[in-house]
Amino acid sequence: MQEFDVVVVGSGATGAIGAKTLAEKGKNVTVIDGGQTDEKYNSITPTTDWLTLRKSDENQHRYFLGDHFEGIAWKEAKVGSQLTPARNYLRARVEEYLPFQSSSLFPFESLAVGGLGGGWGLGCFMFSEAELSKCGLPYAEMLQSYQTVSDWIGISGLNDDAGVYSVGKLNRLLPPPSLEKAMQPIFKKYALKKRQLQNKGFYLGRSGIALLTEERKDRNSVRNTDMEYWNDHDRSSYRSWMTLEELNTSGKISHIKGCLVLSFEENDGKVFINALDISTNQKVVFKCNKLILCAGVLSTARIVLRSFHSYNQKIPFLCNPYSYMPTLQWNMFGKTHEDRKSGIGQAILFHDADGSQSDVAQAALFSYRQLLLFKLVKESPLGFASGRKIMQLLYPAFVVAGIHHTEERGKEKYVELLQDPNQRTGDVLAGLYKLSSDEEVKIARREALYKKALIQLGCLPLRSIRTPHGGSIHYAGTLPYSSKGELLTLKPNGKMNGTDNVWIADGSGFNYLPAKGLTFTLMANAHRVCSQINS
């Protein structure tokens, strides 16, 4: 039986940062993850820019459509079915090893090296003091952790009107990428109508994003190839696997890939980890002094529920409701996007009705670039030939608003582990998710306000599309922070109640989910939790 000092389960955003935090403290760290990687598409995607390769690369069909045409989703409604072929590895083997059963909840999980961080949209947002308090997170500690993580991964952004809601409080911010042509009229309109919009609680600014705009020794500044959805060749976009690679190369961690952790037991001051080798389906057992779970909220829930034999026990589940609103910006009609720009994280529109920063919604605004037209044509109620012609004319004028809403616990928002001998793991995680009527009304009202604000910014909303529950890929709250010490809860420092040497450093403990992008806060929390772990 292999024996380790500190084991971190999961290598996504929280696992990578947690492992780095522990390694920097001089701990002997082993990371265990599901080990799935892209074996094919990243190596065949060229380093040239989007427009050049569209016009010249004879092999583009391979990485745009996939060798098995997996990039041409038809009826699939599952979250993740629109992944590009190069990112499809994120969902490899998930149905087999992380089964989930629900008619109302459709989460997206991953067994990839680097976890869901491999497909992160890069948006970085600091939660306010009020929001952190609702989550159960300490403000002063989190401020420090936000800064440390920012220094590690590199964040670009501005302390502008929206800075207080995103990354305005960070020091050493990198300058934001240059503003693309499609966004310039929106900012001009905002400047003209600022007072009106701010009186209604709307604040527009540049997103904080984990994108380098200055060189670092191991990563390049953004090259503006407009290929961020397809590859990470220039390494300007931060991905969790980059931290793992850095730690592996420097010998600061050992890394066990292709193992699914099932459960743990504590005995005589040690933690025994029961796992499944994915390549052989053989069970393996590891022993360690301390166990840190960063497997993602749902996977961590499975591990904990198995470990405590808590089958058929409902635990809470939080997931931000998410809609997107395609709009038409007439200023861009008849024009084209400029070449060689990055479309990532250009603008963000926050709604804070009373200015208290305690109930803030966010809409990320992005243009339709570095994406293929056929997917857009499918969304129109037209024959494909007419649709092609019309969308070819319209798409530079499209601005899509991706709107996240806040999330609180509810009676009909839970998951539970059910025994199922037909599954490889012997069980299946099931869930129910239903918004209350008050929540539905609040969401509808907010989206109506966003529509009006977007019109004022020169963007005509066409429709509002609510994604299936789980579509935000922001999950939390299954093992809430509690000082009372009950089972299936966490102490405020992240230690699992009822254990001596098990910590949880992902979002499982959060008691509330602000509407803001979650990943940066998850990373900061992982740093916070792991900083406190001593031998």
Q: Which residues bind to other proteins, rule: CB under 8 A?
A: 51, 54-58, 60-61, 64-65, 68-69, 71-72, 74-75, 333-337, 372-374, 377-378, 380-390, 392-396
E strands of 237-309, at which residues? 253-256, 259-267, 270-277, 283-293
Helix count (H) and strand count (E) of the chain?
Answer: 15, 22
Q: Are 64 and 71 in contact (CB under 8 A)?
A: yes
Query: How far is Cα 209 from Cα 144, in angstroms, rounded to an integer?
Result: 18
> Given the complex with other proteins, which of 51 and 353 has the nearer CB atom?
51
> Given the complex with other proteins, which of 192 and 382 has the nearer CB atom?
382
Q: At its nearest, how many Å lie between other proteins and the CB of residue 495?
A: 49
Q: Are 212 and 222 in contact (CB under 8 A)?
A: yes
> Given the complex with other proteins, which of 391 and 453 has the nearer CB atom?
391
> Given the complex with other proteins, which of 311 and 330 has the nearer CB atom?
330
Radius of gyration of the chain (CA): 23
Residues in CB range of 161: below 8 A, 6 or more apart? 194, 198, 203, 204, 205
Q: Are 314 and 414 in contact (CB under 8 A)?
A: yes
φ/ψ region of 18 (left if φ > 0, alpha if ψ in -120 to 50, else beta) reads alpha
> Given the complex with other proteins, which of 312 and 392 has the nearer CB atom?
392
Q: At its nearest, how many Å lie between other proteins and the CB of residue 458?
A: 14
Q: At its nearest, how many Å lie between other proteins and the CB of residue 63?
A: 9
Q: At its nearest, how many Å lie between other proteins and the CB of residue 148?
A: 43
CA distances from 60 to 40, 52, 63, 65, 278 (A): 13, 11, 6, 8, 32
> Given the complex with other proteins, which of 324 and 374 has the nearer CB atom?
374
Q: At its nearest, how many Å lie between other proteins and the CB of residue 250?
A: 40
445 three-class SS: helix
Q: At its nearest, how many Å lie between other proteins and the CB of residue 342?
A: 18
Using the Cα atoms of residue 502, residue 504, residue 508 and residue 510 in order, give the sign of their dihedral: positive
Query: How far is Cα 25 from Cα 62, in angstroms, rounded to an integer?
Result: 44
Q: At its nearest, how many Å lie between other proteins and the CB of residue 86?
A: 14
Query: How far is Cα 15 from Cα 6, in angstroms, rounded to an integer?
Result: 12
Q: At its nearest, how many Å lie between other proteins and the CB of residue 59?
A: 9
> Given the complex with other proteins, which of 334 and 355 has the nearer CB atom?
334
> Given the complex with other proteins, which of 54 and 188 has the nearer CB atom?
54
> Given the complex with other proteins, which of 75 and 217 has the nearer CB atom?
75
Torsion, CA 291, CA 294, CA 295, CA 301, rounded to 10:
80
Residue in 268, 303, 218 with CA at minimum distance from that of residue 3: 268
Helices marked H in 282-383: 297-307, 373-378
Residues in CB range of 134: below 8 A, 6 or more apart? 358, 511, 512, 514
> Given the complex with other proteins, which of 12 and 396 has the nearer CB atom?
396
Residue in 440, 254, 203, 226 with CA at minimum distance from that of residue 336: 226
Q: At its nearest, how many Å lie between other proteins and the CB of residue 77?
A: 11
Tokens 């961590």 correspond to what residue?
300
Q: At its nearest, how many Å lie between other proteins and the CB of residue 377?
A: 7
